A and B are shown apart, each in its own frame.
Chain A
Amino acid sequence: MKKYDTPLIDDLEKGPWPSFVTEMKKAAKNNEMANDAVGHLEKCYSTKVGYWKHGGIVGVLGYGGGVIGRYSELGNEFPGVAHFHTVRLNQPSGFFYTSKALKEICDIWDKYGSGLTNMHGSTGDLVLLGCRTESLEAIFAEYSSRGWDLGSSGSALRTPSCCIGPGRCEWTNYDTLGLTYALTQEFQDEMHRPAFSYKFKIKASGCACDCVASIARADLSIIGTWKGDIKIDNDEVKNYAKTMDINAEIVNMCPTQCMSYDGKELEINNAECSRCMHCITRMTKALRPGGERGATLCVGSKAPIVVGSLLSWVIVPFIKVEPPYTEIKDMIRKMWEWWDENAKPRERIGEVIEMKGMRSFLEAIGVPPQPQQIKEPRKDPFIFYTEDDIAAYKAKEAEEKKTGKYKF
């Protein structure tokens, strides 16, 4: 194997934080592809520019995605990265593994690929970094025969992902792992055979802490919530009072100012609570969500390209999340149908809602307008009315004339 002189990236092996260069060199010890990846990266560092060729369309038979094709411009100098494709493996919900399963994944990858991985991609997939086109079918056969399917790429449903939820969190309002697994299985076709205008991501968080950042990184963000009272254990509150200034740290930081504490009892006016999670996360032994559990569905978040970044906004304030999740599945299908009818190529669903308006979207998915969907009503008077709207207003006024009572 070629020996590369790598003074620049060698510097990144120093210091306390675990080094990706050390990882690359570890793999490079007995893997030609990883070895050339090391030399290739040093070259990038010395010239301050990347050498990956634009795009690359590769994959496995029957699927339209799951593999990111990549070729180096410097294939002659670094033959090990001439092809350096990424395989996305669909991770298990919550990123839980057994050592047996992971070792099997590693053994297969060492046989065909570079021995380099990302644990994990930002969308959630277990990313296998660097292999040649002719190995792809073999890689797929090895993994799929052992129960591991590819994740997704392209204009498709991307690999859904979730927070740890009921696996290890007392705050979750529904089974994030179960829902994510169920949706992934339900929509296998939409994941593997791109048929959308653009990508569509689903992420599931058990509460407003949003540990999987669904509100910022998913076209559909499913965020757990509850309808009912926060359960208070006032004995535990007393324990917290020994080390915590409850008025300063909890009561005064409550965004809706719906709490009070008189030095003995903590009280919450639950009707005014917006379920932000601050108090619960600071006093985990004393406070817990209570009552009916479910989720809020938010739609639209995306990175800046093309029209600017968006955060998901509320579409369905409350939905039950219980197996077999029929209501959520139906809702997702209706969203896709509307998106499919209205999108131009490479338009995310959030951008299309901005273009076509919330009314069109909400009517298509059968959700009524509700004040929970907005931060504030519109400021401008550039309002659309349908003939039916006006007829309804006129009918109401006629009714008022009869009864002598206004109905706003």
Chain B
Amino acid sequence: MALPQRKTDIGPPDYKQFLPPVIQKNYGNWKYHEVLTPGTMVHVGETGDKLWTVRVASPRLLSTDTIREHCDIAEKYCDGYLRYTTRNNLEFLVSDEKKLEPLKKELKDRGFKMGGIGPHITNVVHTQGWVHCHSACTDASGLVKSMMDELYDYFESKKLPNKVRLAVACCVNMCGAVHCSDIAVVAVHTKVPTITHENFKNMCELPTVIGSCPTRAISPDPAKKSVKINAEKCMYCGNCFTVCPPISIKDPERDGVAIVVGGKVNSLRSNPKFSKLVIPYISNEPPRWPKVVAAIKHIIEIYAKNAKKHERIGEWIERIGWERFFSLTGIEFTFQAIDDFTFMRDTMRTSSTFKW
């Protein structure tokens, strides 16, 4: 069969054709909203029109069959309209209140999970991992599944002082939101890369490789027509591998993950914050990463017990002080948590005010 005529530079389809009529009518004229349950909310327009949203958990990696199931449900209850969120949940948009409870019942019967709205834990922003990326030093999907199974109550019902945003990145490229999340897992290498020198000159561009290293650990090795790496300066970021395939850095026994906490992107109360390192290393333990999961759960429980209402993890820690965060959580404070990169001068304590 002949292929249809290709077109270029047409961009995405106009979103307006995908907006349900109640949104087209109330576009830009919403008055307020109310969270009804952790899985449902209602938006009320200036016209008095109402739009109910049912938010459903998604593993982000979806088969076409599951997407078709989403579509069938949307056809039955939402005139075929649905959307996904910026954290990769699925949302059904209901304009007829009579259909709300039947929709929720059908979702429940089919095993879909509703939640994530309000002061809860919602979907984990994550990356490709072993499913698809060449530079991954852990698996993102497996970690996310393991974390959310353990934290599931916080998605469906259990309240926290404020939202806790979780993220996973499978290498320090940190595609996604690890550097600005309440708690996040970032996979790390821990060994200096090796180089297959005979391939270097055919596959890599010397200045790019040298320029790729944040600590200037790489210098030319003219005799080998390749480069050498100063092991004292290398902190295993793997960026040289990104630009040069003959550099090899993966190591199943030494690759692992670090845990960072206290980031946020919104400006509510306090300015956006980066997440900061608290646990420098935990070994990869597929398929369930039990220690990583336990660490995250532990931090959340201490936060839930100690933070004031509306405080995000980063705000809570800044109020009580990092020394108190470490003593409350019992997390060992290590050399790794002391910055020795470009931010050092901003991160040292230049006063004698601290808690014992």
A binds B: yes
**What residues make up the interface of A, taking CB atoms closer than 8 Å to B?**
8-9, 11-12, 14-24, 26-27, 34, 37, 41, 44-45, 47-55, 60, 62-63, 70, 84, 86, 89-103, 105-106, 109-110, 115-120, 122, 129-130, 137-138, 140-142, 144-149, 161, 163-164, 166-170, 172, 175, 177, 181, 184-185, 188-189, 192, 208-217, 248-249, 253-255, 274-278, 281-282, 284-285, 303-309, 311, 344-346
Interface contact B177-A213, CB-CB below 8 Å: yes
Interface contact A284-B33, CB-CB below 8 Å: yes
Hey, which chain A residues are within 8 Å of B7, CB to CB?
144-145, 149
Any chain A CB within 8 A of the CB of B120?
Answer: no
Interface contact A50-B133, CB-CB below 8 Å: yes
Any chain A CB within 8 A of the CB of B253?
Answer: yes
Hey, which chain A residues are within 8 Å of B81, CB to CB?
96-99
Within 8 A of A (CB), among B91-132: 93, 112-113, 125, 127, 129-132
Interface contact A303-B12, CB-CB below 8 Å: no
Hey, which chain A residues are within 8 Å of B57, CB to CB?
17-18
Interface contact B30-A141, CB-CB below 8 Å: no
- Given contacts A49-B252, A54-B241, A117-B63, is CB(A149)–CB(B12) below 8 Å? yes
Hey, which chain A residues are within 8 Å of B33, CB to CB?
169-170, 284
Interface contact B68-A149, CB-CB below 8 Å: no
* Contact flags B165-184 to A (C-beta < 8 A → 1, else 0): 00000001111110110000
Partner of B142, one of A9, A93, A249: A9
Interface contact A26-B267, CB-CB below 8 Å: no
- Given contacts A15-B149, A49-B252, is CB(A115)–CB(B65) below 8 Å? yes
* Contact flags B1-35 to A (C-beta < 8 A → 1, else 0): 00111111111111101110001000111111110
Hey, which chain B residues are within 8 Å of A168, CB to CB?
23, 30, 43, 51, 53, 93
Any chain A CB within 8 A of the CB of B239?
Answer: yes
- Given contacts A17-B113, A277-B268, is CB(A116)–CB(B11) below 8 Å? no
Q: How large is the interface on B (under 10, 10 to 19, 20 to 34, 35 or more residues)?
A: 35 or more
Interface contact B341-A308, CB-CB below 8 Å: yes
**What residues make up the interface of B, taking CB atoms closer than 8 Å to A?**
3-15, 17-19, 23, 27-34, 43, 51, 53, 57-68, 70-72, 74-75, 80-86, 88, 90, 93, 112-113, 125, 127, 129-134, 136-137, 139, 141-142, 144-146, 148-149, 152, 155-156, 172-177, 179-180, 208, 211-214, 237, 239, 241-243, 245, 250-253, 255, 263, 265-270, 272, 274, 284, 286-288, 309-310, 341-343
Interface contact A23-B66, CB-CB below 8 Å: yes
Interface contact A17-B12, CB-CB below 8 Å: no
Cα-based distance from A164 to B134 in the complex (angstroms): 33
Interface contact B136-A50, CB-CB below 8 Å: yes
CB-based closest 9 A-B pairs: A15-B149, A99-B71, A145-B4, A166-B28, A54-B245, A17-B148, A106-B64, A44-B130, A90-B12
Q: Nearest CB to that of B153 among chain A residues?
A: A16
Interface contact A208-B62, CB-CB below 8 Å: no
Cα-based distance from A274 to B90 in the complex (angstroms): 33
**Dominant secondary structure of chain B at its interface with chain A:** loop
Interface contact A305-B18, CB-CB below 8 Å: no
Hey, which chain B residues are within 8 Å of A282, CB to CB?
310
Interface contact A96-B66, CB-CB below 8 Å: no
Interface contact B176-A122, CB-CB below 8 Å: yes
Interface contact B60-A106, CB-CB below 8 Å: no
Hey, which chain B residues are within 8 Å of A109, CB to CB?
64
**18 other A-B residue contacts (CB within 8 Å) besides A18-B58, A304-B172, A345-B208:** A18-B57, A19-B59, A20-B144, A55-B245, A90-B12, A92-B13, A93-B12, A95-B86, A106-B67, A117-B62, A129-B61, A144-B7, A146-B4, A169-B33, A170-B43, A255-B269, A255-B270, A304-B214
Interface hub of A9, A44, A282, A344 (most chain B Cβ within 10 A): A44
Cα-based distance from A305 to B178 in the complex (angstroms): 13
Partner of B61, one of A118, A177, A254: A118
Q: Nearest CB to that of B148 among chain A residues?
A: A17
Interface contact B134-A53, CB-CB below 8 Å: yes
Cα-based distance from A179 to B80 in the complex (angstroms): 25
Q: Nearest CB to that of B131 among chain A residues?
A: A41
Interface contact A285-B130, CB-CB below 8 Å: no
Hey, which chain A residues are within 8 Å of B93, CB to CB?
168
Chain A nearest CB from B176 CB (Å) reads: 4
Hey, which chain B residues are within 8 Å of A26, CB to CB?
63, 65-66
Hey, which chain A residues are within 8 Å of B146, CB to CB?
12
Interface contact B62-A23, CB-CB below 8 Å: yes
- Given contacts A48-B286, A98-B17, A311-B180, is CB(A70)–CB(B134) below 8 Å? yes
Partner of B310, one of A17, A217, A278: A278
